[in-house]
Amino acid sequence: MDVIRQVLWLVHKDLILQFRTKDTLVLVFMFSLLVVLAFVFSMGPFFSFGLEERSKLAASVLWISFTFAGIITLTRSFDVERSDGAVHIIRLAGVDPSNFYISKVLSNFIFLTVLEFILTPVSLQFVESLDLVSVITLFKLLGILSIGTLGLCAVGVILSGMASTTRGKESLLSVLLLPLVIPVIMAGTKCTVSLLSTGTLQGTFWIMLLILYSLVFLTISYLLFEFVIEG
């Protein structure tokens, strides 16, 4: 019971910080929107090619922009903790390192999922794919995106905890994180393409991979996070 209370308090604290200061919120939101726009501008104003190709474009736009948004969000969420030694104060308050890990995963997950829920329809409209999908498919897509985000956060939080102690924060985090989340990106885009072009998931392999990946890395990082905080 104590565990849940601790985690909830920490998540509450993180979300209040995020939504009151608003700098991360605006920054990440604008950044992902601009990544989507950069894609659109590079692929040309008319998307006259076939359904399959268009779904591929939409999938890559979404996953690339959310992965980068994730990198920024994760870096910022540990910046707050590392400056002024807030981590040590949290530790002194008697918070267990693994509870701290869970709370960080949850708060980043919630933040990114909110971002995805807002940006996904907009991005789909930008690549002229929104009117092709039904509302149910859109919700399925958001489900896939949130599982992928969970996997991203599971690995990202532990790596960001390490990268935040160095000078190179964001760039170091991307060098460490991107090779590790390649399975998430692959599985996520495969699911997205098949959802957008057929409306259903063809085969369960990729969705199982996403779930498995999230679970494996949640468990391992949960066990290893203690070392990252203790140093």
Partner 1 sequence: MFWALYLVFGCAVVEETMLEVQKIFYFHVSSAFVAFTAYAFTCVCSLLYLIRKSEKFDALGSASAEIGLVFCTIVLVTGPIWARFAWGTWWNWEARLTSTLILWLMYIGYFVLRAMLDIDLRKTYSSVLGVLAFLNVPIVYYSVEVWQDRLHPPTNTKSQLPPSMTESWLVSWLALTLLYVFLLILRTQLVQMKSRIDVLQYDQVNR
Quick one: 36 or 229, whose CB is closer to partner 1? Answer: 229
* Contact yes or no for 115/52 (Cβ under 8 A): no
DSSP 84: G
What does the alpha-carbon distance between residue 66 and residue 35 come to, in Å, rounded to a whole number? Answer: 9
Handedness of CA 16, 18, 21, 25 (dihedral sign): negative
CB atoms within 10 A of CB 91: 15
Phi, psi of 199 (to 5 degrees): 85, -10
State whether residue 1 is helix, strand or coil.
Answer: coil
Binding to partner 1 in span 93-112, by CB under 8 A:
none
Give the nearest distance from C-beta 217 to partner 1 in angstroms: 8
Quick one: 39 or 225, whose CB is closer to partner 1? Answer: 225
Binding to partner 1 in span 73-92, by CB under 8 A:
none
147 touching partner 1, by CB under 8 A: no
130 touching partner 1, by CB under 8 A: no
Per DSSP, the residues of 86-146 read HHHHHHHTT--HHHHHHHHHHHHHHHHHHHHHHHHHHHHHHTT-GGGS-HHHHHHHHHHHH
Give the nearest distance from C-beta 37 to partner 1 in angstroms: 28
167 touching partner 1, by CB under 8 A: yes
166 touching partner 1, by CB under 8 A: yes
228 touching partner 1, by CB under 8 A: yes
Binding to partner 1 in span 178-207, by CB under 8 A:
178-180, 182-183, 186-187, 190, 205-206
Give the footprint of partner 1 on this chain (CB under 8 A): 155, 158-159, 162-163, 165-168, 172, 175-176, 178-180, 182-183, 186-187, 190, 205-206, 209, 212-213, 216-217, 220-221, 224, 227-228, 230-231
